[in-house]
Amino acid sequence: MKYHILFGLLSAELGLLATLHLQSAPSAERLQSELADKRALVSKLGLTDLALWTEARYTRHPSQADRFAAFQDFPSSIEHFPAGSIIAPPEPLRMPVEAGSAPSRHRAP
């Protein structure tokens, strides 16, 4: 019966996925147990960002960057780091801006 083979194949795939997931449980538990230590480090050092992309200020500390950070080097300069294309534009940029309603974080000095 060919449908037995189909159900067997689907069960094997589900079983493999479940096995992989179960195998990642110890690593998930370890990550969970390290979480308190990481938070202690973040709290003690006052860290704000992940150390992923170190090539530019605004990719190293995306949460600290102005929304025009990519264009800081000179007016109308274009984005030049690949990581900059992974980072989506901030939410306010995608919303229609009403007159005088600039978000506080980006308010011009």
What letter represents residue 60's amino acid?
R
Please select the residue that binds another protein; options are 24, 95, 97, 102, rule is CB under 8 A: 24
Please select the residue that binds another protein; options are 10, 95, 97, 102, rule is CB under 8 A: 10
C-beta closer to another protein: residue 72 or 77? 72
The answer to whether 50 contacts another protein (rule: CB under 8 A) is: yes
Q: Where are the alpha helices (DSSP H) in 46-108?
A: 57-60, 82-86
Burial of 58 (0-12, 13-18, 19+ CB in 10 A): buried
The answer to whether 95 contacts another protein (rule: CB under 8 A) is: no
Helix (H, G, I), strand (E, B) or coil at 45: helix
Q: Count CB atoms within 10 A of the CB of residue 70.
A: 20
Burial of 27 (0-12, 13-18, 19+ CB in 10 A): exposed
Binding to another protein, residues 54-73 (CB under 8 A): 54-57, 59-60, 62-64, 66, 68, 72
Please select the residue that binds another protein; options are 8, 16, 77, 102, rule is CB under 8 A: 16
Please select the residue that binds another protein; options are 22, 45, 78, 99, rule is CB under 8 A: 45
47: Cβ contacts below 8 Å, ≥ 6 apart? 41
Beta strands in the chain (DSSP E): none
Using CB under 8 A as the criterion, which residues of the chain lie in contact with another protein when the complex forms?
A: 1-3, 5-6, 9-10, 13-14, 16-17, 20-21, 23-25, 27-28, 31, 34-35, 37-57, 59-60, 62-64, 66, 68, 72, 81-83, 85-88, 90-91, 104-105, 107-109
